[in-house]
Each structure stands twice: as C-alpha cells, then as structure tokens.
C-alpha cells in the first residue's frame, strides 16, 4: 500500500505511510522539512525499517495550531486505534508539537531534538522564533502539564551551551513528568542535521533508554557529520584559537565550497593564516578555493602597524602582521603603493587591479582585461603624510583585528603609510 494524504488544511498536511512494525510513529516536520508533496520527515530512515508512520508536515511557520491538530486527530483516529505502541519523533518546531500533543496521541515515547516550549514572547524570549508568533494560532499554546502524560517517556536532545534552546529546555523540564536528557554540546540548534542516521533513529524509537549507550551512538554519528564540525568550529573558534588546526590535522574532512557562510569562512581563514602555515590540503578540507599565489615586497601599513594585503583566499583586502605574511606569502599579497594610482598587486610578474562592486564584492582583473559588469577599480590616493584607498566616495578602514570595511569617513584608521620590507 502506497503513501496517501489522510488530512489537510491551511496549516498542516498529514500523510499515512504503512509499514510492517508493531509501532506507529508520528514524524513531525519542522521549519526546513515543511509539506512538499507527500514527503515525510526522516522518511528514508523510517522506511528502511518498515515503520508504520503518520507524517505531520507543516505548511506554514505556524507551530501546529490547536484547531488544525484537533481536526487531524479525528481524521487519524481509525489508524491510531490499530496500534498500542505509539512514538513521536521530531526536531525544533516539530519537537514542540510532538511534546505538546503527546497525551492526545497516546504516545509511550517522544524523542524531541532541540524543541521549543512556546514561541509566545510572553512565555520565552527567543528572537529566532518570537517573530512567528500569531495570536490566533499560538496564544496560550505553551506546553502544560495537561498536554503531557505520566505514561510517556520523553527524550530531549539539545546543546546546553545554546542560550536560547536552554531557555526552552528549562521550561519543558518543569512540566515533563518522565524526562531523559541527552546533551549535545557546541552544536547549537543543528542537532537534527548532526544526528541524521537511520540506525540511531531506529535506536531512539525502539531501544530501552540507556544514557551510556545513546551517548556512545551519538558520538559515532557526530564524528561522521560535517554539520557537527561546522558547529564545533563556529563555537570554539572565538575561545580556542588553536582548535581549528587540531581538527584539520586529526580528521579527514572534505567539505564543499558552500559549507561555511562567507563570514565564518573569513574568520577561519584569518585564524589559520595568523597561527599556522597554511597548506593547500588544509584549505581543501575546508572547501575553500583560491588562486593567485605569489607576492610583492612593498607594504602599506595601517594605524596598528599591520601590513595591508590582498587575501587571495577570501578575495578581500585585510591587514596582517609581518610574521603571518611571511608564513603565508602565497596567499597574502601585499599591496604596492608609490603614487596616486589604481590599487594593484603583482602576481607572478603580472599586474592585477583590485576591483569592487556596490555590494562590496572584490575581484582581481588583469590590467589589459575589460572590467566585469558593475566592477570599479579601487583608487589609491597619495597625500602628504599618508595614503587612502577609496571606492567612489567611500574610504577603506582597517581595525585592530585586521578586518576592513568601506566608510564615508576619513580618519586615522583609513590612513595608510608605506614601508618597504
């Protein structure tokens, strides 16, 4: 028997996927896995073990409103009546619903990854989700003792260092009668992606709770998860500057170019270039593409005594110490300056202009090549005591950490002096 839609309204779509199991699984979608055709959250893993599944998929970011769920309960009652063992599984918005409706669904176990207690700002301050609060759908929709059952076992997985998720957890802890907690530190709200494993999901749904066993299985899964290393790097980088080098040395990562967002990628590159000699293998592990090796030995210094360079990896102008430049001379190309001119660098004995568009995206352009659409060369302006790098009416500023930005102001941080190395 194939999957079929057994209930639908403006907020949710409910899909029945028959299997061979004794258990009936309620699988709730979340903000990412919303209703699409007759797809079900975690469908591939659930189908692998031939579970009977009712997939409850949200159409909107509406946190499973009471009216919709009550209508659904009537529609699915004939299927529910066939199963004594009922288990709910979900994360985030779905995790909230799995707990909120656990008593009405007659669940014996709920597995909720990073669930919410409420999105009402009067209940929990959480700017991530308070914006989705709608009075008609979500007022008085916090999880209460009337929603949960003493006959149900609740398993919550979350990161205790994530402040927002911890607020929800503490509220839920106060109302859940039979709670098991599994901590997943330094992962933020990404537990769902990090713990994506058919075998682990099967254990969550069917195995008697054993914290030691589950921690062991979670460690195995997360060590093979690229999402785990992204969150660890993102969380550890500000506090443990040398952790990144150890992660690269001890793990065989092979990330794609879109794995890190631009802001985190720039932070990663800065830490690498400032603290170790970067190899091409390091960059490939992080999914960072680059070109243009080589350098020139004339330097512009910012007000903090750091040399201005074009970073061939991040494709941006930044400033670094001379030690960092010497360690990573292939990637950090000093900016040459002698007089009023277009900003240029020398790469393999060939001159390149540094150009930028109104979105502040920089690209290199050979002096003999046409400019890209919307790209304009940066201008180096020579004054009596300093240089300024400008884009239209904006001036380049460098801060004490070596990051740069363009601003309409002209002050000490936008004044550069020359020094020949």
pLDDT over 80 at 258, yes or no: no
Q: How far is CA 85 from CA 21, 26, 147, 205, in A?
A: 10, 11, 18, 11
The pLDDT score that the predictor gives to residue 296 is: 42
Task: Provide the pLDDT confidence category of residue 7 given band limits of 50, 70 and 90.
Answer: very high
Per residue in 372-398, pLDDT (tens digit) is 999 999 999 999 889 999 999 999 999
Last residue of a domain, one of 171, 197, 222: 222
The pLDDT score that the predictor gives to residue 347 is: 85
- Residue 177 is given by DSSP the state S
Which range is least confidently modeled, 1-5, 39-43, 162-166, 256-260?
256-260
Task: Provide the pLDDT confidence category of residue 105 given band limits of 50, 70 and 90.
Answer: very high
Task: Provide the pLDDT confidence category of residue 273 given band limits of 50, 70 and 90.
Answer: confident
Domain count, the chain: 3
Residue 244: what are its φ and ψ, rounded to 5°?
A: -60, -45
The pLDDT score that the predictor gives to residue 164 is: 96
Beta strand extents in 252-401 (DSSP E only):
298-301, 307-311, 316-320, 332-334, 341-342, 344-347, 350-356, 362-366, 376-377, 379-382, 387-391, 394-398
Give kind and range of the element (H or E) at residue 45.
helix 43-48
Q: Are 314 and 278 in contact (CB under 8 A)?
A: no
* Both structure tokens of 152: 């149900």
Task: Provide the pLDDT confidence category of residue 267 given band limits of 50, 70 and 90.
Answer: confident
Tell me the C-alpha distance between 181 and 169, whole Å: 9
Q: What is the mean pLDDT of residues 118-145?
A: 96
The pLDDT score that the predictor gives to residue 158 is: 97
Residue 291 belongs to a domain = no
Residue 26 belongs to a domain = yes
Q: Round the average pLDDT of the chain to a whole number and report it.
A: 89
Task: Tell me the chain's radius of gyration from C-alpha atoms.
Answer: 27
Residue 40 belongs to a domain = yes
- Nearest by Cα to 271 from 324, 194, 198, 208: 324
Share of the chain above pLDDT 90, in %: 70
Residue 400 belongs to a domain = yes
Q: What is the mean pLDDT of residues 144-148?
A: 98
Are residue 334 and residue 279 in the same domain, yes or no? no
Are residue 30 and residue 173 in the same domain, yes or no? yes
pTM above 0.95, yes or no: no
Are residue 143 and residue 215 in the same domain, yes or no? yes
Are residue 39 and residue 174 in the same domain, yes or no? yes
Residue 153 belongs to a domain = yes
Are residue 31 and residue 174 in the same domain, yes or no? yes
Q: Are 28 and 95 in contact (CB under 8 A)?
A: yes
Q: Are 169 and 112 in contact (CB under 8 A)?
A: no
| Between 297 and 33, residue with greater pLDDT | 33
Are residue 273 and residue 138 in the same domain, yes or no? no
The pLDDT score that the predictor gives to residue 79 is: 97
| Between 38 and 256, residue with greater pLDDT | 38
Which range is least confidently modeled, 85-99, 116-130, 322-336?
322-336
Are residue 218 and residue 241 in the same domain, yes or no? no
Residue 390 belongs to a domain = yes
Are residue 213 and residue 248 in the same domain, yes or no? no
Tell me the C-alpha distance between 40 and 35, whole Å: 8
The pLDDT score that the predictor gives to residue 295 is: 42
Are residue 153 and residue 267 in the same domain, yes or no? no
Are residue 244 and residue 150 in the same domain, yes or no? no
- DSSP of 208-250, one letter per residue? PP-HHHHHHHHHHHHHT-HHHHHHHHHHHTTT-TTHHHHHHHH
Q: What is the mean pLDDT of residues 410-419?
A: 90
The whole domain housing 213 covers: 4-222
Are residue 210 and residue 266 in the same domain, yes or no? no
Angle between helices 262-275 and 226-236 (to 10 degrees): 70
pLDDT over 80 at 200, yes or no: yes
Task: Provide the pLDDT confidence category of residue 293 given band limits of 50, 70 and 90.
Answer: very low
Tell me the C-alpha distance between 182 and 311, whole Å: 42
pLDDT over 70 at 362, yes or no: yes
Residue 293 belongs to a domain = no
Task: Provide the pLDDT confidence category of residue 292 given band limits of 50, 70 and 90.
Answer: very low
The pLDDT score that the predictor gives to residue 94 is: 97
Per residue in 26-65, pLDDT (tens digit) is 999 999 999 999 999 999 999 999 999 999 999 999 999 9
The pLDDT score that the predictor gives to residue 336 is: 74
The pLDDT score that the predictor gives to residue 349 is: 75
Domain harbouring 208, CATH code: 3.40.50.1820
Residue whose pair of structure tokens reads 């000699």 in the numeric block: 277
Which range is least confidently modeled, 173-187, 238-252, 309-323?
238-252
Task: Provide the pLDDT confidence category of residue 243 given band limits of 50, 70 and 90.
Answer: low
Q: Are 327 and 354 in contact (CB under 8 A)?
A: no
Share of the chain above pLDDT 70, in %: 87
Residue 303 belongs to a domain = yes
The pLDDT score that the predictor gives to residue 236 is: 64
Tell me the C-alpha distance between 132 and 198, whole Å: 31
The pLDDT score that the predictor gives to residue 209 is: 97
């Amino acid at each position: 028997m194939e999957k079929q839609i057994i209930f639908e309204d403006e907020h949710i779509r409910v899909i029945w996927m028959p299997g061979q199991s004794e258990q009936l699984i309620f699988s709730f979608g979340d903000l990412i896995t919303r209703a699409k055709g007759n797809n079900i959250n975690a469908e591939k893993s659930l189908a692998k073990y031939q579970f009977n599944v009712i997939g409850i998929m949200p159409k909107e970011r509406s946190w499973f409103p009471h009216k919709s769920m009550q209508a659904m309960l009537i529609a699915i009652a004939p299927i529910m009546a066939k199963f004594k063992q009922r288990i709910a599984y979900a994360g985030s918005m779905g995790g909230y619903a799995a707990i909120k409706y656990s008593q009405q669904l007659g669940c014996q176990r709920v597995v909720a990854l990073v669930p919410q207690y409420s999105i009402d700002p009067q209940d929990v301050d959480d700017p991530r989700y308070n914006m989705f609060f709608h009075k008609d759908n979500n007022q008085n929709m916090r999880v209460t003792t009337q929603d949960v059952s003493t006959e149900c076992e609740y398993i919550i997985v979350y990161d205790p260092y994530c402040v927002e998720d911890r607020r929800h957890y503490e509220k839920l802890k106060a109302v859940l009668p039979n709670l098991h907690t599994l901590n997943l530190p330094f992962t933020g709200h990404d537990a769902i992606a990090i713990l994506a494993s058919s075998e682990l999901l099967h254990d969550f749904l069917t195995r008697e709770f054993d914290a030691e066993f589950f921690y062991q299985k979670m460690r195995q899964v997360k060590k093979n998860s690229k999402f785990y290393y992204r969150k660890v790097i993102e969380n550890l980088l500000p506090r443990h500057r040398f952790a990144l080098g150890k992660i690269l040395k001890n793990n065989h990562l092979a990330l794609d170019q879109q794995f890190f967002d631009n802001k985190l990628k720039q932070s990663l590159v800065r830490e690498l270039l400032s603290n170790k000699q970067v190899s091409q293998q390091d960059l490939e592990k992080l999914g960072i593409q680059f070109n243009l090796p080589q350098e020139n030995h004339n330097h512009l210094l910012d007000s903090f005594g750091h040399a201005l360079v074009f970073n061939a990896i991040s494709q941006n102008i930044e400033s670094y110490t001379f030690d960092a430049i010497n360690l990573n001379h292939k990637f950090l190309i000093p900016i040459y300056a002698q007089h009023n001119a277009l900003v240029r660098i020398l790469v393999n004995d060939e001159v390149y202009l540094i150009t930028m568009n109104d979105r502040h995206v920089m690209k290199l352009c050979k002096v003999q090549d046409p400019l890209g659409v919307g790209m304009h060369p940066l201008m180096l302006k020579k004054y009596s005591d300093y240089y300024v790098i400008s884009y239209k009416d904006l001036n380049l500023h460098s801060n004490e950490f070596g990051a740069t930005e363009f601003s309409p102001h002209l002050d000490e941080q936008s004044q550069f002096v020359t020094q020949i190395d």
